[in-house]
């Protein structure tokens, strides 16, 4: 809870995002990405930490990998071109 300039206590809105801690972010990442996350976390200045964490939350929860695994070749037409063209 913080105090607004008017002196009235202000409770921040609850986070609707499931990743609330640095540990949550790390555990949501594949092992190979955890090393990159840890290295960036170690070198990030305190002022830039919120932006860095927000970016990793977006990367870890964007659903792209699930999309690729669910229908990897949908919409692709194989054999439409030959190597002779």
Per-residue pLDDT of the chain in tens (85 residues, 90 and over written 9)? 444 555 555 444 445 557 789 998 898 888 888 999 999 999 999 999 999 998 888 877 767 666 667 776 666 666 655 555 5
Tell me whether residue 63 is in a domain: yes
What CA–CA distances, in Å, run from 46 to 5, 57, 68? Answer: 25, 17, 35
Tell me whether residue 2 is in a domain: no
Tell me whether residue 56 is in a domain: yes
Tell me whether residue 48 is in a domain: yes
Domain span holding position 44: 16-70
* Contact of 27 with 38, CB cutoff 8 Å: no
Tell me whether residue 38 is in a domain: yes
Q: Write down the pTM of the prediction.
A: 0.53
Tell me whether residue 8 is in a domain: no
Tell me whether residue 46 is in a domain: yes
Tell me whether residue 9 is in a domain: no
How many domains does the chain contain in total?
Answer: 1
């Amino acid at each position: 809870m913080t105090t607004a300039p008017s002196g009235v206590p202000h409770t921040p809105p609850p986070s609707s995002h499931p990743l609330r801690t640095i540990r949550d972010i790390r555990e949501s990442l594949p092992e190979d990405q955890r090393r990159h996350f840890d290295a960036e976390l170690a070198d990030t200045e305190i002022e830039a930490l919120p932006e860095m964490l927000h970016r990793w939350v977006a990367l870890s929860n964007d659903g792209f990998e699930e999309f690729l695994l669910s229908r990897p070749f949908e919409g692709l037409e194989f054999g439409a071109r030959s190597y002779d063209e």
